[in-house]
Amino acid sequence: MKQNMYIKGVGMTKFDYSQKYWWQFAYEAAVDALKDAKLGISQIDAIVFTGMSSAAGGEHQTHKVSFLSGLFKTNVPIIEVPSVCGGGGVALWTALHLEGFKNILVLAGEKLVDNKSEIVVDYILSAAERVMEQTEGMLFPVQNALIWQQYVKKYGGSMDDLSLIAFKNHTNAALNPNAYFYNRPMDLEKVKNSPVVSSPLRLMDCSLSINGGAAAVVSIEPSDIEVIGSGFVTDYILTFERDDITHFKATKLAAKAAYTQAGITPKDVNVAEVHDAFTSVELISYEDLGFAEEGKGGELIRSGKINLKGEMPVNTSGGLKAKGHPISATGLAQVFEIVNQLRGKCGERQVSNPKIGLTHNIGGAGGSVTVHIFKKI
C-alpha cells in the first residue's frame, strides 16, 4: 500500500444452503456493504470480484466482469481475482494496492453447495494440483490429515487439542446470526466422537462447505477503520514439494510483511480471524502467525487465551468450521467480523474494547495466503 487505506463499510449474507445464484449472494453482500459505507454504487470507482463456483452447476458464465457491470449498472473497471479459498483476502489485497481510485468495492459470492456432497467435494478438489494430487484423490481433508500427521511426528500434538478448537468455534458461531450453526452450540463429546473423515481428522475437524457472499468498501478517504498491514505470499501448489510441510511458509511470510508494515508484533493483536479450513490448520496457524511458539499451538488452545472471554479471542465469528466456508467469500467475511468487532457491534460475541484485529486467509493447502491488520481509529 503506497497510501493510507481505510474500510468504509462491510456486508455479508447469512451463510446457508439457500439455492440462489452466486451473483445474488454477491449482490446482497454488496448492498449491505454500500449501506454500511453510506455510499451509492455511483460513488464506487472500481470493483474487485472473486469467486470460484460461478462456472459450476452448469451455469456456463465466465465473463463475470461484464455480467457484474450489468448487475450493478456501472461501467467502472471490474477486476476478477480468483484464488480459491484465499480469494477474499487476495481481492482485498488487490484493492488496497490499486492506485488512482477513491472508493473500491471488494466482492465475493459463492453458490458452492448446489449438488450432492461428493460432487461438491470433487469441485473443491479442482483447487489441488492436477496431475498428481487430483489423480491420487488428495482431497483437502486428506492433504491436511497428512500435514497433521507430520506435525504430530515432529512436535507431538493431540486430537483433544483439535477438538477444543472445533468446540470453541462452534460455541462462538452459536452467537453469530450470520453463521450456519447460529443458536446451535456443539457438545465437546459430540465433537470428539464425530465420524472419521480422513484419519485422524474427523467431521468436526473439517470446515463446513456452504453458500454465501461477503463484501467490503475500501477507500483512500479516512474512516473509523484503517488497514495498517497487508501481506500476500504464494507457495508451490504441490504441498509435498515444499521443504517443510508441518507449517505454512506463505502464512509466516505474509504475517511478517503485514506486521512489519503495521509496525506491530503478534502480541499487539486483540482479536483475530484465522483460516480454520481444518482444526489442524488453525492450530498450525497460531504458530505461523506468531501467537504461539513453534510446536506450542496446543498449549495455546488449552490455555483458554483465545476463547471468547480470553486475552486474544480467535474466530469469534465461528470461523470456517461453524460459520461455514463458502470458498472465496470467506476472506471478506473475516473482514466483516473484525471490522464489526473493532466497532463494538458484535452483540453477544463482542470482545472487550479491541483496538487491533487481524485476518488470515489461505488458498488451497497454503498455496496463496493473505494477512491483513486493521486498527480502530
List active site positions. Answer: 85, 325
Rounded alpha-carbon distances, angstroms, from residue 165 to 71, 183, 206, 323: 40, 18, 11, 14
Q: How far is the CB of 121 from ligand COA (least distance, A)?
A: 5
Of residues 30, 33, 85, 217, which one binds ligand COA by CB under 6 A? Answer: 85
Nearer to ligand COA by Cβ, of 93 and 140: the residue is 140
- Tracing cell 484493492 back to the chain, one arrives at 95
The rounded distance, in Å, linking the Cα atoms of 201 and 191 is 11
The rounded distance, in Å, linking the Cα atoms of 370 and 325 is 16
Nearer to ligand COA by Cβ, of 159 and 220: the residue is 159
Nearer to ligand COA by Cβ, of 34 and 371: the residue is 371
| Positions in 175-214 near ligand COA (CB under 6 A) | 197, 203-204, 206-209
The rounded distance, in Å, linking the Cα atoms of 205 and 220 is 39
Spatial CB neighbours of 17, under 8 Å, sequence gap ≥ 6: 113, 210, 211
For position 317 contacting ligand COA by CB under 6 A, the verdict is no
Rounded alpha-carbon distances, angstroms, from residue 331 to 83, 191, 311: 11, 25, 23
Spatial CB neighbours of 105, under 8 Å, sequence gap ≥ 6: 30, 33, 34, 41, 44, 46, 47, 48, 215, 216, 217, 218
For position 292 contacting ligand COA by CB under 6 A, the verdict is no
User: What's the grid cell of residue 84?
Assistant: 480459491
| Positions in 262-291 near ligand COA (CB under 6 A) | 277
For position 124 contacting ligand COA by CB under 6 A, the verdict is yes
Nearer to ligand COA by Cβ, of 148 and 374: the residue is 148
For position 119 contacting ligand COA by CB under 6 A, the verdict is no
Of residues 117, 131, 243, 309, which one binds ligand COA by CB under 6 A? Answer: 117
Nearest residue by C-beta to ligand COA?
A: 117
For position 325 contacting ligand COA by CB under 6 A, the verdict is yes
The residue count for binding ligand COA (CB under 6 A) is: 15
Footprint on this chain of ligand COA (rule: CB under 6 A): 85, 117, 121, 124, 140-141, 197, 203-204, 206-209, 277, 325
